[in-house]
Amino acid sequence: MTDITQKYANLAPTTAQKFRQRVLPFLALAVVLAIIPMSGPSGTAYTLLNVMGINIVFALSYNMLLGRGGLLSFGHAVYFGLGGFAAVHAMDAIGSAESGFWANYPIFFLPVIGFAGGALAGAVIGWPSCKRAGTPFAMISLGIAELIAAAGLMFGSIFGGEEGVTGDRMVGHEVFGLSLGPTSEVYWFIAFWTFVGVAGMFAFTRTPLGKLSEATRDNPERVEFIGYNPTRVRYLVFIFAGAFAGLSGGMAAVNYEIFTPEALSLVPSGLVLLMAYIGGIRYFTGPILGAILLTYMQSMLSDFTEAWLLYLGLLFICIVMFAPGGLAGVLYGFTDALRAGKLGEVIGRWAGQAIGSALALFGMIILVEVAVHWSNGFGETFEPYGLHLTFGNPLTWVLIVVPVVAGIVILRRLANTEEGVIA
Amino acid sequence: MSENALSLKGLTKSFGPAKIIQGVDLDIKAGERHAIIGPNGAGKSTLFNLISGLYTPTSGSVKLRGEEIGGMAPFKINRKGLSRSFQVSNIFANMTVRENVRCGVLYSMGYGYSFLRNIGNLKEVSEKTAEILESVDLIDKANLPAVLLPYADQRTLEIAITIAGGADVILLDEPTAGMSHSETDRAVDLITKATEGKTLVIVEHDMGVVFNLADRISVLVYGEIIATGKPEEVRGDPKVREAYLGDEADGLDEGDAA
């Protein structure tokens, strides 16, 4: 037996590896979260950071289904929203309570209420939805999202109608000396729960259920023949995914102090899918990257151009077609090549791909901007660097067609040589 | 031992008008190594699917140690101690070899759907996993992704997952299909070792393997068992020789040499 134990000790990762792969990233995350405020961010930056934290937890919870469980859901915002509504109602209860449970419940721990609300919603809605996997699951999730979104507008006493339900976060007991008034104090609240959410969901991947979730994603038939009911595995994973979505909903309730039925709708459900996929669903860190990028695009890019949603769509299509591993896939590919000392071999191709993509993107931007200015501004024109680009101007078409064609030619050539190498 | 590990009575399975299994009666004793042979399309895999719960019988009964299991969900049958492998490698391709076997071990160790434990800290699970990897000689490849294994090793992994849960009735569906001679010999050794003291039911095309391994053989033709008995009895049976024409009948004789 000691022999076996010895052999197994050689199999399992060493303590140093475990530290580097599992503990170090979380120490780094904690340090990053702690030093951000030292750089003295502006109010806008704090607002942006807070939304990023919420979206990181939300996108990771979505990836428990899509990436780890192989379940494509079109209605994950339902659990974010229901958790959020539970939290905002609890916030009101805290504000109006004179004594008893709610009077002693600090606002800081509202995400726990969100977690419970999301878990409850997941347990109820997951029961019928998880009977099926694959396309039926996706269709059921879409139907339920529509159902709950419609219910959100109908049941005014719960969801507050179109105005939603508002709350006040500066009530009840203070925890850690945070009044939660200014956004800089809300930052610590968000940072704390982001860390808890990320660590909790990572820990989940290390449990027997988390491993079985991956096994069920890859081969549900085989899972049945090692003693597990795949339906049960999916259902339990679904409850956890709902619970963590509810946690992010609770964070959002404190951050915005308002929840409207819009939070339950298909729009945030779609956005969280994009975050997870663009970030990379095969990697734990993928949805984190996706959430950061998309939150940034949503709040910053939308200041520069009205067409930011078109760019988001373009980005999504490009990721699906050219980088199915998402941003995390690209990043890990880069670090793997660096570690294997093969950077020299691949960097040329990557540089070519970057140039090709940049050219194609340049042409597309011109096209989109000219079109948007023309359609929105009643004859307004796109005038970058003093150029007067209208649809009638031949220069416009040169600037659109030449880079796009050149970019596509470069990308295709690279794709062909790659195939040639394999063949 | 006189107790029947597995007992089939009047078992039939139809897909619409097609009767694939037409009344199979078969008793397999505990500790026996039983081979099921038959031409292509005889219904051997269908029979396995009926026993392991993938299909529901149209009529008849399947009893595991006297308990009716016909039509029960596969995971319930598995928990009662019957485990099967598949004809095409049915493994968790994205996981490492070690993780594959570990998944097979988990339920039998009582960790069911646990979400409060770190899988890396479950010592007895780790030890059992190592023991199984050791017994099938995959321990050196434990940390490779299963998808990168050579074909023969994937077949071995398939067997490893099947025995990992500690079931005492093992169904193997063509475990040596597509293997070279030397790989087949290794696989037979491994199967003999891994199923020591257990009941083994095996579907196999390689007559050498069948005559080496089996205590008894059943011949399945068009969904019916036309003969059951010791290898030498079956080989001499005229009905069997009739069913196996030409090359395959020679194969029956080759079994001697192997």
CB distance A226–B129 less than 8 Å?
A: no
Q: How far is CA A329 from CA A79, A343, B19, in A?
A: 28, 16, 50
Residue B240 contacts residue B234 (beta carbons within 8 Å): yes
DSSP label at residue B145: B
Instruction: Report whether pLDDT(B257) > 60.
Output: no
Q: Residue B75: list chain A partners with CB under 8 A.
A: 223-229
CB distance A218–B94 less than 8 Å?
A: yes
ipTM: 0.87
d(CA A223, CA A230): 6
Average pLDDT on A79-106 reads 91
Instruction: Report whether pLDDT(A32) > 70.
Output: yes
Q: Nearest Cβ partner of A215 from B103, B122, B127?
A: B103
Q: Which two tokens stand for residue A193?
A: 């729960």
Q: Residue A226: list chain B partners with CB under 8 A.
A: 75, 78, 83, 103-104, 106-107, 161, 164-165
- The pLDDT value given to residue A423: 36
pLDDT digits (tens, 9 = 90+) for A374-388: 777 666 677 777 777
User: Is B99 touching A (CB cutoff 8 A)?
Assistant: yes
Q: How big is chain A by its Cα radius of gyration, in Å?
A: 24
What is the reported pTM?
0.89
Q: Residue A204: list chain B partners with CB under 8 A.
A: 115
In the beta sheet, which residues pair with residue A408? none
Residue A239 contacts residue A79 (beta carbons within 8 Å): no
* Residue among B15, B20, B89 nearest B48 (CA): B20
* HSE of A331, CA atoms in CB hemisphere, 13 A: 14
Give the DSSP H/E element, type plus range, for residue A12. none
d(CA A156, CA A173): 29
User: Is B119 touching A (CB cutoff 8 A)?
Assistant: yes
Residue B94 contacts residue A218 (beta carbons within 8 Å): yes
Residue A50 contacts residue A190 (beta carbons within 8 Å): yes
Average pLDDT on B41-59 reads 92
Which single residue is written with the structure tokens 């500690």? B166
CB distance B75–A224 less than 8 Å?
A: yes
What are the backbone dihedrals phi and psi of residue B33, each rounded to the nearest 5 degrees, phi first? -105, 110
Task: List CB contacts of A281: < 8 A, sequence separation 6 or more.
Answer: A63, A66, A67, A287, A326
What is the nearest CA distance from B229 to chain A, expressed in angstroms? 29
CB distance A4–B134 less than 8 Å?
A: yes
Chain B interface, best mutation among A206, A226, A283, by max B CB count within 10 A: A226
Cα torsion for A229, A230, A232, A234, to the nearest 10°?
170
Residue A130 contacts residue A231 (beta carbons within 8 Å): yes
Domain ranges of chain A: 24-324, 342-422
pLDDT digits (tens, 9 = 90+) for A300-328: 887 777 788 888 888 898 888 878 889 99
DSSP B52-90: HTSS--SEEEEEETTEE-TT--HHHHHHTTEEE--SS--
Domain B1-80+204-258 has CATH 3.40.50.300: yes
CB distance B74–A215 less than 8 Å?
A: no
CB distance B90–A221 less than 8 Å?
A: yes
Q: Which two tokens stand for residue A281?
A: 């669903």
Instruction: Report whether pLDDT(B1) > 50.
Output: no
User: Is B102 touching A (CB cutoff 8 A)?
Assistant: yes
Fold held by A24-324: ABC transporter involved in vitamin B12 uptake, BtuC (1.10.3470)
CB distance B127–A11 less than 8 Å?
A: no
d(CA A28, CA A153): 43
Q: Residue B120: list chain A partners with CB under 8 A.
A: 12-13, 18, 206
* Residue among A326, A210, A218, A225 nearest A279 (CA): A326
Instruction: Report whether pLDDT(B158) > 60.
Output: yes
- The pLDDT value given to residue A8: 59
What is the nearest CA distance from A31 to chain B, expressed in angstroms? 25
pLDDT digits (tens, 9 = 90+) for A172-228: 788 887 888 888 889 999 999 999 999 999 999 999 999 999 999 999 999 999 999
Task: List CB contacts of A98: < 8 A, sequence separation 6 or more.
Answer: none
d(CA A421, CA B35): 47
Q: Which two tokens stand for residue A336?
A: 């793997």
Q: Which two tokens stand for residue A56?
A: 């990181």
- Would you call B149 exposed, middle or buried from its count of C-beta atoms within 10 A (0-12, 13-18, 19+)? buried
In terms of CA atoms, which chain A residue is nearest residue B97? A11
The B residues from 155 to 184 touching A (CB cutoff 8 Å) are: 161-162, 164-165
Q: Residue B165: list chain A partners with CB under 8 A.
A: 226-227
pLDDT digits (tens, 9 = 90+) for B63-117: 999 999 988 999 999 999 999 999 888 899 899 999 999 999 999 888 888 888 8
pLDDT digits (tens, 9 = 90+) for A342-363: 777 777 778 888 888 889 888 8
What are the backbone dihedrals phi and psi of residue B221, each rounded to the nearest 5 degrees, phi first? -135, 125
- The pLDDT value given to residue A114: 96
d(CA A131, CA A229): 11
Q: How far is CA B225 from CA B8, B70, B234, in A?
A: 11, 19, 12
The B residues from 46 to 65 touching A (CB cutoff 8 Å) are: 52-53
Instruction: Report whether pLDDT(B4) > 50.
Output: yes
CB distance A226–B99 less than 8 Å?
A: no
**pLDDT bracket for residue A99 (50, 70, 90):** confident
CA atoms A160, A58, A289, A19: torsion sign? positive
- Would you call A381 exposed, middle or buried from its count of C-beta atoms within 10 A (0-12, 13-18, 19+)? middle
Instruction: Report whether pLDDT(A2) > 60.
Output: no
**More confident site: A372 or A247:** A247
Residue A134 contacts residue A73 (beta carbons within 8 Å): no
What is the nearest CA distance from A228 to chain B, expressed in angstroms? 5
Helix A326-340 vs helix A286-296: angle between axes, to the nearest 10 degrees? 120
Chain A interface, best mutation among B75, B122, B136, by max A CB count within 10 A: B75
d(CA A409, CA B82): 58
d(CA A201, CA B119): 14
pLDDT digits (tens, 9 = 90+) for B112-142: 888 888 888 888 888 889 889 988 888 888 8
**pLDDT above 90 coverage of chain A, percent:** 48
The B residues from 186 to 225 touching A (CB cutoff 8 Å) are: none
Angle CA(A247)–CA(A253)–CA(A255) in degrees, nearest 5? 105
In the beta sheet, which residues pair with residue B172? B202
CB distance B93–A221 less than 8 Å?
A: no
- How many beta-carbon pairs under 8 angstroms link A with B? 117
DSSP label at residue A13: P
- The pLDDT value given to residue A320: 87
CB distance A225–B83 less than 8 Å?
A: yes
Q: Residue A227: list chain B partners with CB under 8 A.
A: 75, 78-79, 107-108, 165
CA atoms B230, B231, B232, B237: torsion sign? positive
What is the nearest CA distance from B163 to chain A, expressed in angstroms? 9
In terms of CA atoms, which chain B residue is nearest residue A232? B113
CB distance A209–B108 less than 8 Å?
A: no
* Residue among A322, A320, A280, A314 nearest A297 (CA): A314
d(CA A81, CA A269): 10
pLDDT digits (tens, 9 = 90+) for A398-422: 888 898 899 888 888 877 765 544 4
d(CA A74, CA A135): 11
